[in-house]
Amino acid sequence: MFNLVIHNDEEIKSELDRMLWENKEVVKEAQRGEEVFADNQGWLDTEEWADNKSIYRLEMLSKEIRENADVFVLIGVGGSNNGARSVISALQKEGTPEIIYAGNTLSPNALNKILKRLEGKSVYLNAIAKNFETLEPGASFRVFRKYMYEAYGDAAAKRIIVTGTKGSSLERLCEEKGYPFLDFPWNIGGCYTAITNVGLFPMAVAGVNIRELVDGAHNMQKRLHIPELENNIAFQYACLRNLFYQKGYRVEMLASFEPQLRWFYKWWIQLFAESEGKDNKGVFPVASEFSEDLHSVGQFIQDGSPIMFETFLEVLEQQDSLIVEQDALEDGFDYLEGKDFRDINKIAYKATVMAHSRKLPCITIEIGSLDEYHFGQMFYFFQFACYLSCKMMDVNAFDQPGVEAYKEWMFDSLGKR
Ligand code: PA5
């Protein structure tokens, strides 16, 4: 189950129809794939980098690690760790290695703390980098490689798995040192790599059923590549974003009442910020964890500058249940007695939509349940929708000129040649 619901009035719906009609060539072009983006669209067909053979290899390699590791250090930043982290934090299986994220900070305090956590544990490491020029993962890899050799001597080589691009200096390093090597797809940019070795391998180490996840993504691919455009929910979502943008809403807030989605927000924010925020255009992506954030930013959303529209992620079937029991103490909460938190949480969602949709454009993306299959669906859905949204805004979804400026200053200051 994966639906898009519009909470506002009929006017939005009729404007959406116009927008769908006006942009129908955009989606047809995207469905075909574009020659000009040949170096960036390896994700469009999930079969290209997540075929049966690749999945099998990841399952075998991750099984060995699950059996032997206490800790698995994931070295990567941005697109090289956000996809895996969003699924692992929600669905990691009990009894699998603790996953520690490194390569995303330059803070000596944070790095020293990680090193301490490794002491006395059986450690495996996965270094993930497309270019192997990015400072955070490159510098961290040096630190943790040293730790591994000190702890395991030459046997460290079997415990260091590298995900890099064929022909890169990282691949040469692997050949020299004998590290197992996984392909980082040459034709996919970091934030579109969740359904490739980049995201799937760490997920498999955490016991996530990656076959189910790829299945969900593949199912969504089929659903979004249909000729009947009026039923294409990614196209509808992309049109709505552009419509709200044209009306002056410059911020999109993704929100849900399910804390398990905490790290998924980060993946989503990166996807839209890096793809769309260029040429002085784009909707600024932010996220809120409800119900907690209703007690902070909720005030602004309801009553502050009308700058944002809201996209709720709603999980329809909750696995968990917890009943509020009778209590002898008169604490003023007897009205909750016998009610399930599952239903209370849902009522909070519905009440929030009622209140916010009077002020702002609000839509909901409903997903059946929070499992591997639906994560796969969400990855493909948002990637495809983001690409469409960028096309409508006339920006290149796949380059990142904006992150180069600070890097030049930094590399100059650090003496990089
Ligand atoms: O999405 C992207 O392209 C970026 O976020 C990269 O993933 C990030 O900068 C890390 O790059 P690399 O994998 O080359 O170290």
- Percentage of the chain modeled with pLDDT above 70: 100
- Collapsed DSSP state (helix, strand, coil) of residue 326: coil
Our answer to whether residue 374 is catalytic in this structure is: no
| Helix or strand run (H / E) with residue 141 | helix 135-152
| 12 Cβ contact partners less than 8 Å away, ≥ 6 residues apart | 6, 240, 243, 361
| Mutation pick for ligand 1 pocket among 75, 128, 131, 134 (CB with most ligand atoms within 8 Å) | 134
d(CA 370, CA 338): 25
Smallest CA-to-CA distance from 26 within 222, 229, 215 is with 229
Residue range 289-309: mean pLDDT, rounded: 95
Residue 9 has pLDDT above 80, yes or no: no
Tokens of 189: 């940019």
pLDDT of 416 = 85
| 330 Cβ contact partners less than 8 Å away, ≥ 6 residues apart | none
Pocket of ligand 1 (CB under 6 A): 77-80, 129-131, 134, 137, 189-191, 274
Q: What would you measure as the largest C-alpha separation in the chain, in angstroms?
A: 72
pLDDT of 36 = 95
Write the DSSP symbol of residue 81: T
- Catalytically annotated residue among 247, 281, 339, 407: 407
Which band of pLDDT confidence, cut at 50, 70 and 90, is reported for residue 319? confident
Our answer to whether residue 274 is catalytic in this structure is: yes
DSSP string, 16-36: HHHHHHHTHHHHHHHHH--GG
d(CA 156, CA 154): 5
Residue 31 has pLDDT above 90, yes or no: yes
Q: What percent helix, strand, coil does the chain show, rounded to 5? A: 55, 15, 30
d(CA 384, CA 191): 12
Which band of pLDDT confidence, cut at 50, 70 and 90, is reported for residue 409? confident
Residue 411 has pLDDT above 80, yes or no: yes
**167 φψ region: left (φ > 0), alpha (ψ -120 to 50), beta (else):** left
d(CA 133, CA 154): 26
pLDDT tens digit string along 191-219? 999 999 999 999 999 999 999 999 999 99
- Catalytically annotated residue among 116, 295, 325, 330: 295
Residue range 277-291: mean pLDDT, rounded: 97
Determine the distance separating the centroid of ligand 1 and the alpha carbon of 83, expressed in angstroms: 12
Tokens of 219: 């199912």
Place of tokens 């934090």: 89
pLDDT of 401 = 87
> Which residue's CA lies nearest to atom 8 of ligand 1?
78
pLDDT of 417 = 73
> Which residue's CA lies nearest to atom 3 of ligand 1?
190
What is the pTM for the complete model shown?
Answer: 0.97
- Catalytically annotated residue among 136, 274, 276, 314: 274
Determine the distance separating the centroid of ligand 1 and the alpha carbon of 407, expressed in angstroms: 13
Burial 40-60 (b: 16+ CB within 10 A, else e): bbbbbebebbbeeebbeebee
Determine the distance separating the centroid of ligand 1 and the alpha carbon of 191, expressed in angstroms: 7
Place of tokens 């809120």: 288
**332 φψ region: left (φ > 0), alpha (ψ -120 to 50), beta (else):** left
Residue range 380-398: mean pLDDT, rounded: 98
Residue range 391-415: mean pLDDT, rounded: 90
What's at 60, amino acid-wise? M
pLDDT tens digit string along 12-30? 888 999 999 999 999 999 9
pLDDT of 13 = 87
pLDDT of 203 = 98
d(CA 15, CA 380): 26
Residue range 392-401: mean pLDDT, rounded: 95
pLDDT of 116 = 98
Place of tokens 């189910």: 212
Smallest CA-to-CA distance from 235 within 13, 30, 32 is with 30
Determine the distance separating the centroid of ligand 1 and the alpha carbon of 29, expressed in angstroms: 26
| 366 Cβ contact partners less than 8 Å away, ≥ 6 residues apart | 1, 2, 3, 4, 5, 314, 316
pLDDT of 303 = 93
Tokens of 403: 């992150």
Adjacent-strand bridge partners of 123: 71
Which band of pLDDT confidence, cut at 50, 70 and 90, is reported for residue 402? confident
| Mutation pick for ligand 1 pocket among 39, 40, 41, 77 (CB with most ligand atoms within 8 Å) | 77
The number of residues making up the chain comes to 417
All structural domains of the chain, each given as residue ranges with its CATH number in brackets, are 2-32+214-402 (3.40.50.10490), 46-208 (3.40.50.10490)
Average pLDDT, the chain: 96
d(CA 371, CA 215): 12
Residue range 126-149: mean pLDDT, rounded: 96
Neighbours of 394 (CB within 10 A): 9
